[in-house]
Each structure stands twice: as structure tokens, then as C-alpha cells.
Amino acid sequence: MEAKAYLTFVLGNEKFAISVDRVQEVVEFEKVTKVPNAPDYMLGIINLRGRLLPLLDTKLKLGLPKTEITRKSRIMVLLIPGIDEKQMEIGALVDLAREVVEIREDETQPAPEFENYSTNAPISRILNKQGEVTMLMDIEKVFSSQDLTL
């Protein structure tokens, strides 16, 4: 069974992973320009080498407490499906970006199903390696181009 590459990252005390084919790069947190009347989870826009990207707080998008900015905070520059089949770049703020790992599907198990939870849960599968749980995130269920319409 073929392994796929995932970028692991941390939100609070939990470890997550997303497919590397969605990740453009990981950068250090930098100055954010606030956008008036933006939703809570939209922290503003950042200037990344001349490209303006919306910056979203991943924890707020998942219903977790707001991210506290530390020197370990990172911005994952992600490609998400946009309007008319175009890809959009966004910045997703995380507490810590870790490493790229290879994960085979047979090493994972489906996310547990709770009533009404599995249909819109952003977790597709779970890796339990020596007691360390990593949740494989379906990034399209967390971020969408609709998040960015003000």
C-alpha cells in the first residue's frame, strides 16, 4: 500500500496532519493587517513576498480557543478549492508546524462516528502510533472560499 506525505502540526495539545499536496509552504508569523468587519476567525491579511493572503485562525475555525501567538506559531500557506475550479491561497495559523511524515492508509483507522458528527467533521482518519494520536484533517471541510467573502 502506497504511503502519502502529510505535514503534521499542533493545535493546543492535539496533533493533526494534512496532505502535503495542499501545502505551499510554512512561514513564520508576521505582521497582520486587520480587515474591518471580518469574521472572528479571519485575523486579517498578510503580505507574503508581494502576495496578499487572508490569514485564518485554524483553532477558531475548529471551534477551539483563539490561538495565542508565540515564537513557535507558524502560518501554513494552503491551497484550497476556490470559485470556478481555481485554487486559492490562504494562510492558516497553527501553534506549531512539525514535520512531513509518510502515512499509509492501513496504518490509520476511520474517525469515530458520533450522531451527526461524522458528516461535517473535518477529521477523515486517525493514526494511533504507540499511543500518540494524529488526526488526519480534511482541509476542505475546514477552509473554503466562502470563508473569505466579506
- The pLDDT value recorded for residue 115 is 59
Measured CA distances, 118 to 16, 18, 56, 60, 83 (Å): 17, 18, 23, 19, 25
The residue to which cell 508546524 is assigned = 97
Enter the pTM of the model.
0.88
- The pLDDT value recorded for residue 111 is 83
Q: For residue 28, how many C-alpha atoms fall within 13 Å in the half-sphere facing its CB? A: 4
If you ran DSSP here, which 8-state letter would residue 67 be given? P
Mean pLDDT (10-residue bins), the chain, 150 residues: 93 95 94 93 94 94 92 95 80 96 93 62 88 90 70
- The pLDDT value recorded for residue 118 is 47
Contact 111, 118 (CB under 8 A): yes
